Structure formats: C-alpha cells, structure tokens
Amino acid sequence: MRKKRLCDGLVILLIAAILVVAHFFWFRFDLTQEKRFSIAPQTKELIKNLDTPITIACYLGGPVDANVAHLKSSMINMVEEFNSYSSTRIRLDFINPSIAESDDERIKNYVALEQRGMRGLSVAHKEKNGTISQSVVFPWAYVVIHNDSLLIPLIENNSQASTEELISHSIEDLEFKLTDAIRSLSKQDIDKVAFIEGHGELEEEFVYDAESALSRYFQIDRGSFTSDATALDNYKAIVIAQPKEKFSEADKYIIDQYFMNGGRVLWLIDGIEFSEKTLAKSGISPILPLDVNLQDMLFKYGVRILPSVLEDMQCAYTPINIAPIGQPAQFEALPWFYAPLLITSPYHPITKNSMQVKANFASALEFTNNSNDVTKDVLLVTSNATRISKAPTEINLSAMTKIDPQTYFNTHYLPVAVAMQGFFPSVFTHRMMPTTITNSHQKKDVSQKTRMIVVADGDIIKNELENKNNSVGVIPLGYDRVTKQLFGNKNFIVNSLLYLTDDENWLSLRNRTIKLRLINQAVSSTNRTFWQCINVLFPLLLLGILGSIYLLVRRHKNKIM
C-alpha cells in the first residue's frame, strides 16, 4: 500500500513538473509528412514582431463543397498557427456573400464583389446520384492593418488544373500570400525599381499593367542613362524591356558595375526583328537578327540569346485573312505558331503552380559556361513539338496552312527564360572604362553574390492597347483576345522582380508541396455502406474493447489488494 502511494506521488510530481516546464518552454509538434501545419522561420519572425492588430476578412463563409471546405479549414489552421507566435491576435472573419433575402439581392452582392475586383469562381462537384452541379464561390480575402487593406486571391485560376489541384496549389501558396500581404502593409521602407529608357525600350503604356502590379511592392521609376556611374545605386533592381537600339559602351559600363556591386537585372531582350506592317500587308516578312550590343555582356555572364525564332505547336490563336488576293477579307482563327505558350518550371518559386506564359516571336537561349560560381535555373521552355529557325529567315503566312506537324516540329523543350545567381565576371575585365563616365566607383572584376533573369522575348511584359469610347484602354497583360483566356505573364513578371529583390528568401515559401491523397470515387461509391459501417462501428468496438480491458485489470488489482 505504501509503495502504491509512493508511486502515485511520483506520478503527480512528474505531471506537475511537466506542466511547469511547459509553461515556460512553449513547443509544438507537426507529425504530417509535408509539415503542413508548420510555418517557416522567417514567417515566425515576422509574426513575432507584429505590434498592430490584423483582421483578415475571408469570403468563404456559408456552406461550401468539400474542396473549398478544405481550403477554408487550411485558412483557419494557418491563422491559428500565426496566432501561436503573435503577441497581437490576428482576427479571422468569414463572410458569406450568398446571404440575401432574394435572388436579385444575391446577384447584386455578386456584382458588387466583381466590381471590387473579386471574380467569382465556378466550382463543379459530383453529387451522390452522379450528377454534376455548379456553385459560385468567391475565394478572396482582405488583409487589413490600421486603415490599409490588400485584396489577395486564395485561388489562382488555371484552366489546365482540376478543382482538387487548384485547391492543393492554393493551400501550398497560402502562407506566402498571407505573409506577402502583411509585409506589404507593414513595410516602412519601399524598394525602388527602374525601367531603363533611351534605347527604344517599350513605352510606359505598353508596360502599364506590369508597372501597376509591381507598384504594390516597389516604387517604380523610369529614365535614361547619363554619364553618372552612380545613377542606379539607389535601385534594388532594373528592368530592360525590349530595347531596339544599341547600348553605348558607357551605358553598358554603368549596368555592368551596378550589377558587380550587387544590383539585380531583369533582361527582356529580343533576338530578332521583323516588320508587322509588311507582314499584315503582304503576308510575308523577313526576320533578321537584332543586335542591341548586349550579347557580349550576356555571354560573359553565362547565357546567349540565339538570333532565332521559335515556332511551337502549343501556341495561341490569331485571326488570319485566308481569302485569296483581290477577294474580300475573310478572317479565321488559326494556330499562330509564332506565339508559343511556354511551359513554366514546377521546381522554381517564380513559376511553381503558374499558368503558361504567352510569348511572341521568342528566341532560344543557350548557356555559355559551366562555372560553379553561377547557378542557372530554367524558368520557361517550349513544348515537345518545337521548331527553331535561325535568322535571317522569313515568315510566310500562306505556307503555314501547308505544314505537316509530324515533320515540321523537329525539336523540343528549348529554354526561353533562365534565372541565374552567384558571382559573375565583369564584361569590362581587362577593358578600359569609357572616358565619358563620371563619379565611378572602384571598378570591380567580379560581382558580389547577386541575381539576374534573362528572357529571350520582350513581348512577355508587353500589354496590348485597345480603342474604347474614343479613348485608349489597357488590355491585361497575358490576356488572349481570341480565346478570352488570361495567361501567366503578369505573375511571371511580378514573381521575377520579387525573386530578384528577395534577400530574405520569402519567395521560397511558394516551394511548399502538399501531396494530393484523393479518395477513389468509384470504390467509395460502390462500397459506400461498408465503409460507413466501418467508420461508425469500428471506433465504438475499439472503445468497448479498451474499456473491457480496463475493467478486467482493475478487478485483478482489487483482488490482489
């Protein structure tokens, strides 16, 4: 009896000691394979340093289907995990946009949300009787800090993915999207990005949509070079978007030394040029190499833009006049092989879970060295049915209808965009500084650790314009007016600049992967009753067995005593 009391006392002391230790040393365990209930160290640091209340208004309230309910529960789990580290509680409110007294009022609610930028998503799900039903959900959330707010899409529209895949991708990106909004709203210092002018680059109206999207994160400036070598020092990154004229040696020196001192560059350079007017008028246009005097720089850094044009069987459509010469115009939407839909890399945070990127008269890239000082990650490639033609060559619209795809598309998976980071050699090693340069730093022959992205097509950042009501309107970047589909050009540009300026590795949060473990619908429907009985009766049976064992052990102990 005394031994039993001693053991009970020790157990009580042990439990008390554990409670005391747990009070002072907080810990959590995530036993899932993908660590889906864990957050990154940089997220923990961000949340711990929050000193202002945050409210998240999520428009997934009310009854939703199983897939959207999975996203909703993941949202709750994520905010609860944030609150485990935050000194000021993050409030999560769910709003049901379908609550209304009548159908007309419900439609008005939907229209009001659409006007605020929240597009509804039609979700298909299978009923018990096998029929397919459609429901409209608004997978959006507002993150509010003080009086500032940001709207974030919880689901990125991707016509190539199933509903289950869309939800899985959304859950994978949830931590990044929430922390991205919190950082944007609480950030005190804004990084600056410059669009370079003076060499025939795209004018502001043709990159308006990209600049508008980037202005959420950066201060956007535009300007041309002077002789001042320090002109770019205050910019976190620069964008060189489709130049048509040659860069001077002085301009190249300023870019090179900016890059050597840790600057970041997004190059969007065409490898060829042609005449759209000549093509539209006669159906034939020569394609010539385009030299803007940057090839030696890129070659030294580790990549070369081939003077070539890519055609791809996986492409956008365009209206083409198929009427004979002299006859009235007759337009038909035909595959436009010169507008390939580029495949995005699933392994890099810039392009993971992203839609295809629409290109136009893109060229191919090739790597010029295998230095261990520079790592290279291909971001965009063509499909497995590609043709490359080296300039000079020509476009002939009449010949496109006679193409035999089996023999015409004779290569595959050619790179069009690459991200590089590491220590780069200067193109001005063993070369004199141009005499016109002023305020130059000490010339560097090897860069600090830095990054660049090279894209062999300037049209990837170019939005189209349209005349509407006697005014010029901007068509969203990546929008295809023929198929009414929005491709991933804008996300690619924004993620590219975020990657280039990301010193704290925030974009790596997009690399989270959650495996889909889907129930076999055919088996579950066929054996529905059996599995229902297992799920209901087995826990009760297990509980009864454990209870019986407990009672038997208790009786045995009482007999001994």
Is a pLDDT exceeding 60 seen at residue 561? Answer: no
d(CA 401, CA 514): 44
For residues 268 and 455, the answer to whether their CB atoms sit within 8 Å is yes
Query: What per-residue confidence (pLDDT) applies to 4?
Result: 59
Single-letter amino acid, residue 517: R
The tokens describing 8, both together, are: 């009970």
Residues 6+ apart with CB under 8 A from 553: none
Query: Average of pLDDT values for 23-27?
Result: 58
N- to C-terminal Cα distance for the chain?
8
Phi/psi of residue 32, nearest 5 degrees: -75, 150
Is a pLDDT exceeding 80 seen at residue 481? Answer: yes
Query: What per-residue confidence (pLDDT) applies to 529?
Result: 77
Query: What per-residue confidence (pLDDT) applies to 403?
Result: 85
Query: What per-residue confidence (pLDDT) applies to 450?
Result: 96
Enter the pTM of the model.
0.85
What is the number of residues in the chain?
A: 561
Query: What per-residue confidence (pLDDT) applies to 221?
Result: 96
pLDDT tens column, 304-348: 999 999 999 999 998 876 666 667 777 778 889 999 999 999 999
Q: Is the backbone of residue 353 left (phi > 0), alpha (psi -120 to 50) or beta?
A: left
pLDDT tens column, 117-154: 888 877 666 555 556 666 778 889 999 998 888 999 99
pLDDT tens column, 78-119: 999 999 888 888 999 999 888 888 888 888 888 888 888 888
Domains and CATH numbers, the chain: 35-186 (3.40.30), 192-511 (no CATH)
Query: What per-residue confidence (pLDDT) applies to 339?
Result: 95
Q: Which comes out higher in pLDDT, residue 481 or 201?
A: 201
Is a pLDDT exceeding 80 seen at residue 57? Answer: yes
Residues 6+ apart with CB under 8 A from 272: 287, 288, 289, 290, 307, 308, 309, 361, 363, 391
pLDDT tens column, 224-264: 998 999 999 999 999 999 999 999 999 999 999 999 999 99
Among 460, 500, 509, residue whose Cα is nearest residue 191? 500
Q: Which comes out higher in pLDDT, residue 32 or 402?
A: 402
Q: What mean pLDDT is reported for the chain?
A: 87
Q: Which comes out higher in pLDDT, residue 73 or 519?
A: 73
Query: What per-residue confidence (pLDDT) applies to 470?
Result: 76
pLDDT tens column, 165-211: 888 888 889 999 999 999 988 888 899 999 999 999 999 999 999 99
Query: What per-residue confidence (pLDDT) applies to 215?
Result: 94
What angle (nearest 5°) sits at the alpha carbon of residue 517, between those of residues 511 and 522? 145
Quote the percentage of the chain above a pLDDT of 70. Answer: 87
d(CA 535, CA 537): 6
pLDDT tens column, 348-376: 999 998 999 999 999 999 999 888 899 99
Using 50, 70 and 90 to split pLDDT, how confident is the model at 558?
low
Single-letter amino acid, residue 252: K
